[in-house]
Structure 1
């Protein structure tokens, strides 16, 4: 006799709807269903089916997209067993246990104060790849129901194998997931990298990357960083798509900068200009320049694209050193340089406008800047 199997089945009111249709073997045992009981119900023509190792679908038809997602997480994660709760009815003796486990019986919806307990808990497993992009509502991602495989991130130390419609993606560092439709989902940039790693279609890769940036899901720099981490930039079709992505991201950031200046009533600057000393060296290009106030704005759209071959951190350090030298040189000449990232323009344009306005207003309190030649870039 299995002493871990309760003599009385537990009620299922604390479970959400999908948990009553897709359950793991540990949950079945917790609710009074033995392995033999489950095997009997999964026989040909039976009311249940085993769709993944240790994961059961409590109806005979094909699984829905939602059920496949939750089955994937049950298989790949480490679901936390719910704390034991007593049955409201007297427990029958072992011989009186019902032949059909109550997991297939309807229950009343959970009360509002049970909402937290009703959410599935799947441990260390996060949906990624094309399935995650579909959950992020990417128009260029295939619908969930059409996917042959669902990618799921797990820690590298997990002793599991890909099986059925589940493809494991092992990682040294799990990302902080977003919860979409009750499912833990990888952030867009990470999901993109995991999807691109399994795509050979250059057009599909380009569509996904373009939508990520153009649709405002994330910035080009974060996508390139994840592609670099995944060592995907040695594939020509990915490199070509990334070149377009970076150009797309910069164009969007420039449009947001134009809009910020207009929307917050800042004086019109000179756009996209090079600065030079008279008869002297090139000082560098800036995205906006107010010559009367000697204030420049530069968009920080740096993105490392060859870090896997030359050392990602070393390349970023070199890029930052060049930016810092340029800024220091301009400020020694009395020019205030404001660096703005595309993300800040997207998420906090009002704050960035205030920073620029403050720099313009403070110009009267500074010593006059050196004369510089302004040329179109």
Structure 2
């Protein structure tokens, strides 16, 4: 049979060895040998070219290997939801027993969780994907970054993640610990900032509070706000300030702080992580300076 006809029967160039044999290809594996025109993706699954597979072809081959009813979870599902999961394994949940190979993880689930069509693939909810991805992590910082990204980008709520961690408890010790420590923090940097603030025991800060002037005009939303002395603490990542618009917004924010008489401490997340003692000294000094001058007439406002 002509290769064009085989491709028509395939899905993105991915096809089962059984289908190939039914189409008259007697020994498809011979064409998958070194230097051949095809390649073996998984046992029983062939890609009809010998170049690097695309992510969609890799996932198509994994689902074909897993069989009917399989759904995508873990790091691959996170990426499909637009979340920054770095692990390369493809983790599928299947209704029956199946054997994975290499970076393909096949896990029996009863029942298989609900999925939705994401780019043509059956993908579990972002909350389930995040919890399953964290089960394969060893770093609390890596898990915290993924969990925080999911909530920041509106892919799931804290309640969704907590519910998934309670329901799917196998291997979730790390994610449950991270969820407990993260609390209402919005990033790894904010978690580190909360730790440091507790350690140095300054006046209790408000986190991500919205600050307004006496006329009610919004001034800013600092990462931490020491209301008793009118001190703002901003954890400013270079990654979010390289663009001209981001830089302009940061300058405008700092100008509003200055005009309102608010002292502000700016800290890079890397410095907070690598040199917390120096950051603590700077924060304490700024707090003393803020306390030594009249508190500016600003206040916290509720934003609905």
Deviations 1:93-123 (A, max 9, x none): xxxxxxxxxxxxxxxxxxxxxxxxxxxxxx2
Contact 1:9 1:32 in 2 (8 A): no
Matched, 1:31 2:23: yes
Matching residue within 117, 126, 138 for 1:188: 126
Structure 2 distance, partners of 1:49, 1:8, is: 17
Contact 2:76 2:88 in 1 (8 A): no
Deviations 1:153-202 (A, max 9, x none): 111x32x2121221112211111211112111111111111111111110
Structure 2 distance, partners of 1:241, 1:196, is: 10
Structure 1 distance, partners of 2:54, 2:7, is: 22
Unaligned runs of 5+ in 1: 1-6, 78-122, 256-348, 350-377
Deviations 1:193-250 (A, max 9, x none): 1111111110111111112222111111121111112226873x4344212554259x
Matching residue within 155, 158, 181 for 1:217: 155
Aligned-partner SS, 1:68: helix
Structure 2 distance, partners of 1:40, 1:246, is: 56
* Distance 1:64-1:20 versus aligned 2 partners, 3 A rule: closer
State the structure with more CA Rg: 1
Matched, 1:170 2:115: no
Structure 1 distance, partners of 2:94, 2:24, is: 29
Contact 2:7 2:48 in 1 (8 A): no
Contact 2:100 2:106 in 1 (8 A): yes
Structure 1 distance, partners of 2:7, 2:30, is: 25
RMSD: 2.9
Q: Spell out the pairing of 1:12-31 with structure 2 (5 A cutoff).
A: 15=9, 19-31=11-23
Larger relative contact order (CA 8 Å, sep ≥ 6): 1
Tell me by how many angstroms 1:26 deviates: 2.6
Aligned-partner SS, 1:51: strand
Q: Spell out the pairing of 1:67-106 with structure 2 (5 A cutoff).
A: 67-77=57-67
* Distance 1:190-1:46 versus aligned 2 partners, 3 A rule: same
Structure 1 distance, partners of 2:171, 2:50, is: 44
Q: Spell out the pairing of 1:157-306 with structure 2 (5 A cutoff).
A: 157-158=96-97, 160-231=98-169, 235=173, 237-248=174-185
* Distance 1:33-1:10 versus aligned 2 partners, 3 A rule: farther
Aligned-partner SS, 2:137: coil
User: TM-score scaled to structure 1, two decimals?
Assistant: 0.45
User: TM-score scaled to structure 2, two decimals?
Assistant: 0.55
Structure 2 distance, partners of 1:223, 1:192, is: 8
- The equivalent residue for 1:151 is 91
Structure 2 distance, partners of 1:185, 1:19, is: 18
- The equivalent residue for 1:128 is 73
Structure 2 distance, partners of 1:153, 1:61, is: 28
* Distance 1:243-1:25 versus aligned 2 partners, 3 A rule: same
User: What is the aligned residue count?
Assistant: 189
Contact 1:213 1:248 in 2 (8 A): no
